[in-house]
Amino acid sequence: MPLGRRELADLLAAALAQAARLTGRSDRAILAVSGGPDSLALLLAAVACRDSAPPTPTNFHIVTIDHNLRAESAAEARFVAEMAARFGLSHETLRWADPARTGNLAAAARQARYDHLGAAARRTGATAILTAHHEDDQFETHLMAAERGAGVVGLAGMRPVRVLAPDLALARPFLAIAGARLKATVAAHHLPAVDDPTNADPAYRRVQIRRQLAAATFDRPVLRARITAHQAQRDAVEAELSRAMAAMAAAGDLAVTEAGTVAIGRSALAALADAPAFLLVQRAVAAVGGRGQRPGGPATLRLLDAMRSGTSPTRTLGGIRVATGPTITMAREYGRAGIAPVPVGTGTGPHLFDGRFMVDPEPDLARAGARIVAFGDLGRGNAVERTLPALVAGDTLLAVPARLGHKVAGGTPPLTIHPFVDWSLYRDLPPPSAGTAGPARGRR
């Protein structure tokens, strides 16, 4: 059964309200629309919101990511632009200029997609990114997590709303809606839709699961109940972790430095129950490494065992280096390939560098051709300093963070940076229990 206009408007309005509770406002939102039937349903929801009585006071901007992986992708982006114009919505296409050709292509494409969407949100002042993930996607996520032996967080699936940055939320208004209903909704409006052949390629495990869902191989009510149970377990262990982290921080056993390193007291980690300790290590690796994805379960368990026992003085995982002693230090590695630079346009900012620092160059420094690079690209600094951002234009050093001033020529302007690691470490966690001391929850 297709969704009616009122249902579409209500779903989107509820998601925006949840996002606003995390970011403080919802007057501007990005809609990720690829041209497939699911994302076109999202476009229809935005139109229904705009035209509702009273209208939702949100300005919607459509963004299409051209992953540059198929010959048809440019034409598909133009199709979305035509659909947006037809309904009176603004649109832009962002192209993945240098797509990955090796390694985990799906993961690289997903990261590039969210990087581009996040950049569009910062440029337009949007505080929410809305995607068309639906219940079938949730089932696929849960089933694939079960196959790889994921823990409770993975088995709980996607969150309907989560924070991507202190002022930016990701919302999935259709997460409780079957994919077939979204397709029926688009068909009822007689809209054509893009047909991405990779969505039907049986070489992908997601496609195999999708076909099994369509054939009713899985019992949907059973899957729904199972995911709900795992979500309750996730919420409980995250509440336990939040209380533990607040207590550790108050006792000096958990700290994040301005350079983006994390220090953990080994005895405090050893005393922590297994489930919250596992999540703490996963979160720390993802935060310090600047990565949206947390490391896998087996690798996390091996690292946790080494950190607790102190038998392995140095280990690496997820782009970070872990030095174990009475205090465990986790720091970003510069690595053999270095850290990806971030282009800086004139009059734009702030910019997220390596997922770890928000960099806000002074307007007179953000000249054409300027880039934010790792200080190590200049061949300078110790292991931690090499991973910090610097502003350059060609071979000219324009600015560095104040802590690096002694490493460069006198008079080099300071570069304003805001560490993001502390926020990442705590994101999505509930506040600790009343009366428990601890740091701010990273939602500034």
Band the pLDDT of 434: cuts 50, 70, 90: very low
Q: Are 12 and 56 in contact (CB under 8 A)?
A: yes
Return the higher-pLDDT residue of 284 and 297. 284
For residues 99-111, average pLDDT: 67
Per-residue confidence (pLDDT) for residue 346, from 0 to 100: 59
Q: With 90 as the cut, is the pLDDT of residue 131 above it?
A: yes
Rounded-to-integer distance, Cα 61 and Cα 370, Å: 27
Rounded-to-integer distance, Cα 144 and Cα 154, Å: 9
Q: With 60 as the cut, is the pLDDT of residue 105 above it?
A: yes
Q: Are 224 and 42 in contact (CB under 8 A)?
A: no
Rounded-to-integer distance, Cα 310 and Cα 279, Å: 19
Residue type, 358: M
Q: Which two tokens stand for residue 139?
A: 């089932």
Chain Cα centroid distance, residue 354? 12
For residues 113-132, average pLDDT: 92
Helix, strand, coil percentages (3-state) for the chain, rounded to 5, are: 45, 20, 40
Residues 6 or more apart whose Cβ sits within 8 Å of residue 260: 288, 331, 332, 356, 357, 387, 388, 419, 420, 421
pTM of the model: 0.86
Return the higher-pLDDT residue of 219 and 345. 219
Q: What is the pLDDT of residues 248-270, one digit of tens each?
A: 999 999 999 999 999 999 999 99
What element of type H or E holds 372?
A: strand 370-374
What's the chain's average pLDDT?
Answer: 90
Per-residue confidence (pLDDT) for residue 354, from 0 to 100: 93
**CATH classification code of 5-218:** 3.40.50.620
Per-residue confidence (pLDDT) for residue 100, from 0 to 100: 56
End-to-end CA distance of the chain: 42
Q: With 80 as the cut, is the pLDDT of residue 290 above it?
A: yes
Residue 55 phi/psi, 5-degree rounding, is -70, 150
Q: With 60 as the cut, is the pLDDT of residue 27 above it?
A: yes
- Quickly tell me which residue has 């996730």 as its tokens: 234
Rg over CA atoms, the chain: 23
CA angle 138, 142, 143 (to 5 degrees): 115
Q: Are 347 and 360 in contact (CB under 8 A)?
A: no
* Residue 59: strand pairing partners: 28
Q: Which two tokens stand for residue 136?
A: 């079938």
Q: With 70 as the cut, is the pLDDT of residue 435 above it?
A: no
Domain boundaries, the chain: 5-218, 236-333, 342-413
Residue (of 127, 25, 114, 15) closest to 65 by Cα position: 114
CA angle 22, 351, 31 (to 5 degrees): 50
Rounded-to-integer distance, Cα 405 and Cα 414, Å: 7
Per-residue confidence (pLDDT) for residue 210, from 0 to 100: 83
CA angle 421, 424, 428 (to 5 degrees): 160
Q: With 50 as the cut, is the pLDDT of residue 310 above it?
A: yes
Q: What DSSP string runs through 106-166?
A: HHHHHHHHHHHHHHHHHHHT--EEE----HHHHHHHHHHHHHTT--HHHHT---SEEEEET
Q: For the sheet with 389-393, list strands across it.
A: 342-344, 370-374, 389-393, 396-399
Q: With 60 as the cut, is the pLDDT of residue 228 above it?
A: yes
Q: With 80 as the cut, is the pLDDT of residue 14 above it?
A: yes
Q: Are 169 and 127 in contact (CB under 8 A)?
A: yes
* Residue 321: strand pairing partners: 316, 331
Band the pLDDT of 101: cuts 50, 70, 90: low
CA angle 233, 427, 342 (to 5 degrees): 140
**Which region among 80-89, 103-112, 322-331 has the lowest average model confidence (pLDDT)?**
103-112
Per-residue confidence (pLDDT) for residue 148, from 0 to 100: 83
Tell me what percent of the residues of the chain surpass a pLDDT of 90.
Answer: 68
Q: What is the pLDDT of residues 338-382, one digit of tens each?
A: 999 988 875 566 788 999 999 988 877 777 789 999 999 999 999
